[in-house]
Structure 1
Amino acid sequence: MPATKTAPPAKTAGSSQSPISSLWKAYYDNTSTRLKTIDAFLVYLMLSGIIQFLYCILVTNFPFNAFLAGFASCVGQFVLAASLRAQVNPANRKEFKEVSPERAFAEFALGSIVLHFFVYNFLG
């Protein structure tokens, strides 16, 4: 019995893009500048924490309390910034009805000050 040939699926306008490029385009088109700024800060904090961790593993961890303070600072600031992003995102408005973006930023700033006070004291 001869093999039947099927026609390749027709390409639509949206299927020519890779999923990553379509995700990036949707993010770029639908995300506000405020959220993009917070996302850039989150990426910076994540990369900074990864670099500190790799330095500790590959080079040295001699002042171990300095490594712990720096790494805890990155992790703590990441958590505070992720919380800020969740609170100022318009898609989450129904979960945070009573929290205005200004109040969310004030809480972020106060939390950052307290976090860095403890980090500074941990350094010794």
Structure 2
Amino acid sequence: MPPKQRTPAPAGSAPAATTSTPARPSSKPSSSSTDAQDILQGIWNKYVTKTPQRVKLLDTFLAFLIVVGALQFFYVVLVGNFPFNAFLSGFSATVGQFVLTASLRIQTNPENKAEFENISHERAFADFVLGSLLLHFFCVNFIN
């Protein structure tokens, strides 16, 4: 697309004077950051007061699994992936354990009692243990 041509101003007209006003500093602080902090603080306070201890323990384990997965990924990026089977096995074990733990958290959360009324906490935990054993069996065999 060719550049646009400027049209000359008529001879009798003077160029329009543009005046710019300097930006005035805001007298009140930005409220978006304080609103976000208030929202996050409210979520955290509600989590601490309303969440049962068992669910908090599962959340801590989920956070640990995220850290372990991130460390494994950064190790492979920085050092290399010579035993690639070991990386795949370890990383898939971390992701699989995260999924199993998230499933256990959903099934044992008291707020979800109506959705999982036919599954007891003991049954959910037994499923978690059996799934974890199968997952780690396959991961150990995949390493060679």
Same fold? TM cut 0.5: yes
Distance, in Å, in 2 between the alignment partners of 1:49 and 1:105 is: 23
Equivalenced residues, count:
110
Of 87, 105, 115, which residue of structure 2 is paired with 1:85?
A: 105
Distance, in Å, in 1 between the alignment partners of 2:112 and 2:70 is: 29
Structure 1 unaligned segments of length 5 or more: list them.
1-7, 9-14
Alignment RMSD (CA, Å): 1.3
The structure whose Rg is larger is: 2
Matched, 1:51 2:71: yes
User: Which residue of the partner structure matches residue 75 of structure 1?
Assistant: 95
Report the identity percentage.
Answer: 53
Counterpart of 2:77, as a letter, is: I
Matched, 1:123 2:143: yes
Distance, in Å, in 2 between the alignment partners of 1:94 and 1:73 is: 31
User: Normalized against structure 1, the TM-score is what?
Assistant: 0.85
Runs of 4+ in 1 over 4 A off after TM superposition: none
* Correspondences of 1:18-57 after superposition (within 5 Å): 18-57=38-77
User: Which residue of the partner structure matches residue 22 of structure 2?
Assistant: none
Counterpart of 2:68, as a letter, is: S
